[in-house]
Chain A
Amino acid sequence: MECKECTNLLFNYYDDEFDTSLRIQVNDHLDTCSSCQNELDRISSTMNFFKVNMPVLTVDGCFTKQVMHKIHLEETVTIFTKVMGGIGLIVVILTLGMLVLVGPTVISLLMLVGNILLDLLSTAVVVFAAFPLIQISSSIILGVLLLLVTIYMRHMVLHDSV
């Protein structure tokens, strides 16, 4: 084995991360080559220095309590979000349902009111024409607002916990 080949294998040799036959070849080379042996010693010395002197953090008993507290909070927030999301969804479904079921009656009434307004003010025609669209827009805005309130409250709960 040549020095170059041996040098390339020294880290693996140091880590004992290759098969026996290769190890024997490197061993044989190291027995006869002081340069490669010195290189191995330097690797070993550096890594030992690192292992011995790497600062070690010690964690106190509060750590586990803090983790478990965070888990508890996360679970609470998850339940809260699910409940709020469920309520929001129900409200949106009910709103949309009402629009579908009661819509024709409401629109008829509005048409009546609109006719009166039309007599009074010709420009009300524009508003009347846009009204069904406003209804749909309102329900979407309501849904979005509920979602935003849910996200905001979740954020507040998390923020308070920190």
Chain B
Amino acid sequence: MNEELAELIRQAMTGDKVSFEKLVSRYKQHIVNIAFGIIGNPHDAEEIAQEAFLKAYLSIGKLTAEAAFYRWLVRITTNLSIDKKNVNTRQSTQSIEEVGVFLNTPRYMPEAIVEQKENQQLILNGLEQLTVEQRTVIVLRELQGFSYDEIAEILDIPLGTVKSRINTARLHFREILSKERLC
């Protein structure tokens, strides 16, 4: 963590709103996408991310070290997302058109766009078939790059559980994708 960021977090911990606003701007993309990965609905994801930041601001005094800020924020987000997902268990998979996400493919390549959209839909459908615990670990590990230790700390579960959950999630996910696409 660089000194500038550490100072920003330190200021936010004293209740400085300007510093906290800068932290929101810095981490909003990550937080929204963690929530989206877990619950699969963009509107709920944005709402959860806002709630997570609000909760973080209101309880930032409890934070003991600035280095733990991001993991602590992710922990709040995953808890809120898991709770929301458990409430919306019957929610159907979002179509990629509804999600309206950013596509990397250049606009002058319509065929590539179609293919990317199909692949994205495949991923969303696949994630929807995982349990919320499996979705959470796979998002934290694959998309956010957290280590096993960090995931254990974020989810407050033993390291062994993290390993087995990641392995099960990947195997399940691969099976699901294999049915629709040869991996």
Contacts and interface: CB of A to CB of B under 8 A. Distances in A.
A71 B54 contact: yes
Contacts of B166: 11, 15
Contacts of A63: 24, 28, 32, 46, 49-50
Contacts of B123: 49-50, 53-55
Interface stretch (B1-9, B76-84, B114-122): B114-122
B21 to A, nearest CB: 6
A100 to B, nearest CB: 39
Interface residue range, chain B: 35 or more
Given A53-B116, A54-B37, A58-B29, A47 B170 contact: yes
5 contacts: A50-B142, A54-B37, A68-B21, A70-B50, A71-B54
Interface of A: 11-12, 15, 17, 42-43, 45-47, 49-59, 63-64, 66-68, 70-71, 74
Given A59-B28, A63-B28, A66-B50, 5 more contacts: A49-B183, A55-B36, A57-B36, A70-B54, A71-B20
List the 5 closest A-B pairs by CB distance, nearest first: A55-B101, A53-B119, A67-B53, A46-B174, A55-B120
